[in-house]
């Protein structure tokens, strides 16, 4: 079964309407039906909708309340913009909707959005992947919530990596979050950020440590719409990526010979286990890295 209807799943970003992508704004402007959740998405994004568009607030609807709109779109060849907070790829209940839309013969497209974890990193002015400190970012939530976690996805297990972690949907159990982070191996003085309603008018972003995370959350009486960032990259300084080092080369840039020799020397030092903190690792003779 095929239909001329289309459903766009649109990432609205963390809150501020001007963090919509150009594509997101265009899709909302073209939609016959705009579905949004007033509890999660800022009303300013609706300024892009057509005056004659049907606007539906899904905040009080289960998915069964939204499905008739998809059915009508399939039958009448309508375009639907389903607006999700943040990025639809993360905790958006999108997959189950994609399955339904495809079963109805609807064309489906996804517009990525700015995630709250990148918005919070921007607010506090930090890179989450600092060379020699943290080169991975773990996105997760505390186990035991409304939706079961798969086996092996416990916060304390992820914490053993000691890298940057972003915890969503966990503020109501901040004491358990703190206990799991400490049990997994983060030192109590590991930097942390508690961010409520990032980029919204009532935004609150507070720096603390893993050891003071619970007290910080309770002091500000937070329990929802709150994200935690944790990890040594939130305070690290003095390291350098090899990508813009004069000794690194790629398709568009030649290496400076003396700097290249220094990189190779440091590679040998690192291999022997005596590299100094802040040293620049050797660069393989290949193209650019991400």
pLDDT in tens, 3-36: 899 999 999 999 999 999 999 999 999 999 999 9
At which residue do the structure tokens 């899709």 appear?
A: 27
CA 151 to CA 91: how far, in whole Å?
A: 18
- Give me the mean pLDDT over the 168-177 stretch: 97
- Give me the mean pLDDT over the 91-102 stretch: 94
pLDDT at 256: 72
- Tell me if 261 is assigned to some domain: no
Query: pTM surpassing 0.75?
Result: yes
81 & 150 share domain: no
191 & 179 share domain: yes
13 & 101 share domain: yes
71 & 96 share domain: yes
36 & 100 share domain: yes
CA 133 to CA 252: how far, in whole Å?
A: 28
Of the pLDDT bands very low, low, confident and very high (cuts 50, 70, 90), residue 265 is confident
pLDDT at 51: 97
- Give me the mean pLDDT over the 120-128 stretch: 97
> Domain end: 114, 143, 178, which one?
114
Query: What percent of the chain is predicted at pLDDT more than 70?
Result: 84
121 & 109 share domain: no
98 & 11 share domain: yes
- Give me the mean pLDDT over the 92-117 stretch: 96
pLDDT at 79: 98
185 & 205 share domain: yes
Of the pLDDT bands very low, low, confident and very high (cuts 50, 70, 90), residue 278 is very low
Q: Is the per-residue pLDDT at 201 higher than 60? A: yes
- Give me the mean pLDDT over the 186-192 stretch: 98
- Tell me if 247 is assigned to some domain: no
104 & 135 share domain: no
pLDDT at 273: 58
pLDDT at 81: 98
The mean pLDDT of the chain is 89
- Tell me if 273 is assigned to some domain: no
Q: Could you give the angle at which helices 63-76 and 94-103 cross, rounded to 10 degrees?
A: 30
84 & 181 share domain: no
Considering its fold, how many domains does the chain have in total? 2
Question: How far from 190 is each of 29, 153, 210, 225, 263, CA to CA, in Å?
Answer: 44, 21, 6, 23, 30
More confident residue, 249 or 63: 63
174 & 228 share domain: yes
Q: Is the per-residue pLDDT at 289 higher than 60? A: no
**Closest alpha carbon to 113 in 30, 182, 41:** 41
Please give the residue range of the domain that contains residue 81.
6-114
| CATH code: domain of residue 100 | 3.40.1010.10
125 & 80 share domain: no
């Amino acid at each position: 079964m095929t239909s001329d209807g289309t459903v766009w799943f649109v990432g609205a970003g963390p809150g501020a309407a001007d963090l919509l992508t150009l594509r997101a704004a265009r899709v909302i402007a073209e939609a016959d039906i705009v579905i949004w959740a007033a509890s999660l998405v800022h009303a300013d994004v609706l300024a892009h909708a057509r005056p004659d568009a049907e606007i539906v607030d899904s905040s009080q609807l289960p998915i069964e309340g939204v499905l008739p709109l998809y059915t009508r779109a399939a039958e009448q060849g309508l375009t639907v913009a389903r607006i999700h907070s943040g990025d639809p790829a993360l905790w958006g209940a999108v997959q189950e909707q994609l399955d339904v839309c495809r079963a109805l013969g609807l064309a489906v497209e996804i517009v990525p959005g700015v995630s709250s974890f990148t918005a919070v990193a921007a607010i506090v002015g930090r890179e989450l992947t600092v060379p020699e400190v943290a080169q991975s970012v773990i996105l997760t939530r505390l186990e035991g919530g409304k939706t079961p976690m798969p086996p092996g996805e416990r916060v304390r297990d992820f914490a053993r990596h000691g890298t940057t972690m972003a915890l969503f949907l966990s503020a109501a159990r901040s004491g358990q979050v703190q206990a799991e982070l400490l049990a997994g191996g983060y030192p109590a003085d590991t930097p942390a950020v508690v961010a409520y309603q990032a980029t919204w008018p009532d935004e609150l972003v507070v720096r603390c440590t893993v050891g003071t995370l619970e007290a910080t959350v309770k002091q500000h009486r937070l329990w929802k719409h709150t994200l935690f960032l944790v990890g040594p990259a939130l305070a690290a300084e003095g390291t350098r990526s090899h990508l813009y080092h004069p000794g690194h080369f790629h398709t568009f840039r030649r290496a400076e010979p003396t700097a290249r020799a220094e990189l190779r020397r440091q590679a040998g030092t690192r291999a022997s286990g005596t590299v100094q903190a802040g040293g620049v690792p050797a660069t393989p003779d290949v193209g650019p890295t991400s």
